[in-house]
Amino acid sequence: MPAKVAGQHFLPFLLAIIFVNNPASAQEINVLSILNGFAKDYEQDVTLKSDVTFGVKVDNQFYQVKAVAKTDDSPAHVAVTAGPPAEPTFYFYTDGETLKKIERGSLNALTGAAKAFESDFAPFDADVMEGFQPDAGFLNTLLSTMFHFWTKGVPERIPFGLDYTRMTHGAQASIFYYQEGFRSAYVAVKKGQHANQDERSRSNPFPTLFIATNGQGKMIINGVTSRVAKGEAIFIPAGMEHEFYNENDEPLEGILLMFGDGA
């Protein structure tokens, strides 16, 4: 057999051996490709006004994202490299399957991170590295990065509906946007579900507005049970206990807005 022909057969066989015996390399290339896609999009984001460096941990593999805001002399630049951040900072952690869902747009990062209590599991979450010292603006930096880095496009679109939710606080929810002093989400209480049944989550130190957009159900406000239905907006003052439950086949759906100090 001529050497050239032999080489043509041998090369694919060699590559197959490399990837079968080193699946982490294939995974790393895939994750880097996905993260570079988010980084490229983030370079065009008008909210990138200050330099920020953070980590991303996917299936226990660390990556560093270094975002440099544009100046009068140079455009914004966002670089992704394999390995942990060189200096202590915050980081996001998830698994490969969740990362793919976020890339496809079937799950947004804020929804992936939603949980009722700190001890709850979330498929997408954030933490800080040992030695990191958050400043006064850290919360806004974290929330802004969690939304704008992981949401592509101009304008940034957030699909919502039952198919985009996760269960949290006893009902289904998909998060729209969070920033300090403001939270927003789509919520759905399906048949048999009871939102805020756990007494630890029945009240907030800030006002809440629930805008019912579909279906009907029951609510318990400060111990009083009444009906809530499509076309109604329910205002819940800070500190007032509130629960929602549904005994109907059709979900009770609505928009949840939380605002003010502490939100």
* DSSP secondary structure letter of residue 191: T
- What one-letter code names the amino acid at 27? Q
Q: How many CA atoms are closer than 13 Å to the CA of 115, on its beta-carbon side?
A: 12
Fold of 162-259: Jelly Rolls (2.60.120)
Handedness of CA 116, 243, 209, 236 (dihedral sign): negative
Q: Can you tell me the distance from the alpha carbon of 246 to that of 188, in angstroms, rounded to the nearest whole number?
A: 10
pLDDT in tens, the chain (263 residues): 334 434 444 333 333 333 344 445 556 669 999 999 999 999 999 999 999 999 999 999 999 999 999 999 999 999 999 999 999 999 999 999 999 999 999 999 999 999 999 999 999 999 999 999 999 999 999 999 999 999 999 999 999 999 999 999 999 999 999 999 999 999 999 999 999 999 999 999 999 999 999 999 999 999 999 999 999 999 999 999 999 999 999 999 999 999 999 99
Q: Can you tell me the distance from the alpha carbon of 90 to that of 81, in angstroms, rounded to the nearest whole number?
A: 16
Token representation of residue 155: 């304008």
pLDDT at 26: 52
pLDDT at 256: 98
In terms of Cα–Cα distance, which of 159, 174, 146, 183 is closest to 42?
A: 146
pLDDT at 28: 66
pLDDT at 232: 98
Helix 96-104 / helix 23-42 crossing angle, nearest 10 deg: 30
In terms of Cα–Cα distance, which of 109, 47, 114, 92 is closest to 256?
A: 114
Q: In the chain, at which residue ranges do the beta strands (DSSP E only) sit? A: 52-58, 61-68, 77-82, 90-94, 125-128, 166-168, 171-179, 182-189, 194-195, 208-214, 216-221, 224-229, 233-236, 242-245, 252-259
Bridge-based pairing state of the strands 242-245 and 216-221: antiparallel
Residue where the block lists tokens 């330099």:
51
Domain boundaries, the chain: 17-148, 162-259
Q: Architecture of domain 17-148 in CATH?
A: 2-Layer Sandwich (3.30)
pLDDT at 4: 41
- Which SS3 state, helix, strand or coil, does residue 34 take? helix
- What one-letter code names the amino acid at 181? G
